[in-house]
Amino acid sequence: MHGVIISNLKKYVEEKLGEEAWDTLRDKAGLPGKAFIPISMYPDSDLEDLLAAAVEVTGQGRDEILKDFGAWVIPPLMKMYRSFIPDDWDAVTFLKNIDDRIHERVVRMKDANAKPPHINVSEISPGLLEVEYQSHRDMSYLALGCVYGVAEYYGQKAALMEEKRVVGTHRTFIMRISAAEQTQRDAV
C-alpha cells in the first residue's frame, strides 16, 4: 500500500480524534512508533491493522470509516497530484479516468509490481455513473467516499442510487453526479 494513503490517514485521524489518537491507533495495531511517509510502500496489513484499531477506538464500522476517509482524502490528493489532472476535467471526466490516468501512474511510478485497485467508471446516461470496484483489499467503501469527495471538489453533488454486491470483494455502485443545487432541489 502506497504511503500517501497511510500518511493521509494519520492526518485524518489527528484532525478527527486529536493528536494523541494516532499513537493510540499505532499501538493497538501493533505498530508502535512506525513512521509512514508518502514516498514509501507499506504492507497492506499495516492499513488493515490501523483500520481495525480505528473501529475499536471509535465504535464506527470499517465501511463507515473508509467512506468518510475517502471523501476527506480527495482534496489533499488533488493538491499533491495536481500536475496529473488537466484543468478542463470535471467530476465525471475525472472519475472516468481514475484508473488509467491517476492510479496506474501514481502507483506504478513507485512500484512496478504494485496492485492498485481496479475502478472502472462508466457513464450509463448523462451524470449517471456505474462505479465498479475490484480489489483484493475489500475497500469498496473507500471508493464510494472518494466519489463523494471528487463531486464536492468540483462543486457538484454525488448521490448513491444503488449498490450491488457482485461477488467476494467486487462491488458496483450506481451514482448520480449533479450540480449541487439540483440535488438539493431533487431532495425537496
Name the residues that contact ligand HEM, by CB under 6 A: 1-2, 4-5, 77-78, 81, 95, 98, 102-103, 106-107, 114-117, 119, 135, 137, 139, 142-143, 146-147, 150
Residue 62 CB, nearest approach to ligand HEM (Å) = 12
- Among residues 57 and 76, whose Cβ is nearest to ligand HEM? 76
Q: How far is CA 80 from CA 6, 30, 37, 77, 126, in A?
A: 14, 29, 14, 5, 29
Strands ordered across the beta sheet of 170-179: 118-125, 128-134, 170-179, 156-167
Q: Hey, is 66 helix, strand or coil?
A: helix
Residue 140 CB, nearest approach to ligand HEM (Å) = 7
- Among residues 24 and 138, whose Cβ is nearest to ligand HEM? 138
Residue 188 CB, nearest approach to ligand HEM (Å) = 28
Q: Which amino acid would we find at residue 113?
A: N
CA distance 107 to 2: 7
Residue 87 CB, nearest approach to ligand HEM (Å) = 14
C-alpha dihedral, 92 to 94 to 97 to 102, nearest 10°: -160
- Among residues 31 and 146, whose Cβ is nearest to ligand HEM? 146
117 secondary structure, DSSP code: P
- Among residues 24 and 130, whose Cβ is nearest to ligand HEM? 130
